[in-house]
Structure 1
Amino acid sequence: MTKKVRDIMKILRQFRNIIREGLVGMWRNLGMTTASVISITFVLLMFGFVLLMVLNVEQVVFESGAKLQKIVVFFENTTPQDKLAEVEKKFKAMDGVDKIEFTSKEEALNEMKARLKGDDYILEGLPENPLPVSFTLHLKSLNDGEEVAREAKAIPGVYKVQYYNELVNNMLRVYRGVRYGGTATIGILLLIAIVLIHNTIRITLQNRRREIQIMRYVGANNYYIRGPFLIEGLLFGLLAGVLSCGILYLFYQYSFNRFNPQLLDILGIGLFIPDQRLAMNLFVILTSLGMGIGYLGSIISVTRHLDV
Structure 2
Amino acid sequence: MTINSFKYYISEAFKSLKRNATISLASTVTVTATMLILGVFIILMQNVNLGMSDVESKIQVQVFLKDDINSTDQENIEQKLNEISGVKNIEFEDKSKALEKFSEQVSKDDESLLDNYDASNNPLPNSYIVTLETPETSQQVVSSLDDMEGVESIGNDKDFTDKIISISKSVKWIGIALSIVMVSVSVFLISNTIKLAIYSRRKEIGIMKFVGATDWFIRWPFIIEGAVIGLIGTIGANTLLYYLYKTAFININESLLLANLLPTSYVTQTLQWQLLLVGILIGGLGSSWSLYKFLKV
Which residue is 1:302 aligned to? 291
Distance 1:124 1:139 in 2: 29
| Structure 1 counterpart of 2:294, one-letter code | H
Q: What is the TM-score with the length of structure 2 in the denominator?
A: 0.73
8 Å Cα contact 2:9/2:220 also seen in 1: no
1:135 aligns with 2:127: yes
Q: What is the TM-score with the length of structure 1 in the denominator?
A: 0.71
Deviations 1:244-293 (A, max 9, x none): 2223222322332233467663xxx7222112x54132221111111211
Distance 2:212 2:202 in 1: 16
8 Å Cα contact 1:46/1:186 also seen in 2: no
1:177 is matched with which residue: 170, 176, 179?
Answer: 170
8 Å Cα contact 2:191/2:287 also seen in 1: yes
Q: How has the CA–CA distance of structure 1 residues 11 and 193 changed in structure 2, closer, same or farther, with 3 Å as cutoff?
A: closer
Residue correspondences, number: 288
- Which structure 2 residues correspond to residues 71-110 of structure 1 after superposition, within 5 A? 71-74=61-64, 80=67, 82-83=68-69, 85=71, 87-92=73-78, 94=80, 95-96=83-84, 101-110=91-100
2:273 is matched with which residue: 274, 284, 288?
Answer: 284
Unpaired segments of 5 or more residues in structure 2? none
1:148 aligns with 2:141: yes
C-alpha displacement of 1:158:
6.7
C-alpha displacement of 1:173:
3.3
1:17 is matched with which residue: 12, 34, 39?
Answer: 12
Deviations 1:35-64 (A, max 9, x none): x44544444334323432343333333344
1:270 is matched with which residue: 236, 246, 260?
Answer: 260
Q: How has the CA–CA distance of structure 1 residues 177 and 264 changed in structure 2, closer, same or farther, with 3 Å as cutoff?
A: farther
Which residue is 1:29 aligned to? 23
Q: How has the CA–CA distance of structure 1 residues 236 and 254 changed in structure 2, closer, same or farther, with 3 Å as cutoff?
A: same
8 Å Cα contact 1:22/1:229 also seen in 2: no
Which residue is 1:238 aligned to? 231
CA-atom RMSD in angstroms: 4.0
Distance 1:107 1:192 in 2: 57
- Which structure 2 residues correspond to residues 184-203 of structure 1 after superposition, within 5 A? 184-203=177-196
Which residue is 1:253 aligned to? 246
Secondary structure at 1:83 match in 2 = coil
Distance 1:231 1:262 in 2: 46
C-alpha displacement of 1:13:
5.0
Which residue is 1:3 aligned to? none
Secondary structure at 1:272 match in 2 = coil
C-alpha displacement of 1:296:
1.8
Deviations 1:65-102 (A, max 9, x none): 3332x421346xxx64x336465245235353867544
Secondary structure at 1:273 match in 2 = coil
Q: How has the CA–CA distance of structure 1 residues 196 and 256 changed in structure 2, closer, same or farther, with 3 Å as cutoff?
A: closer
Which residue is 1:4 aligned to? none
8 Å Cα contact 2:219/2:291 also seen in 1: yes
Which residue is 2:50 aligned to? 59
8 Å Cα contact 2:202/2:294 also seen in 1: no
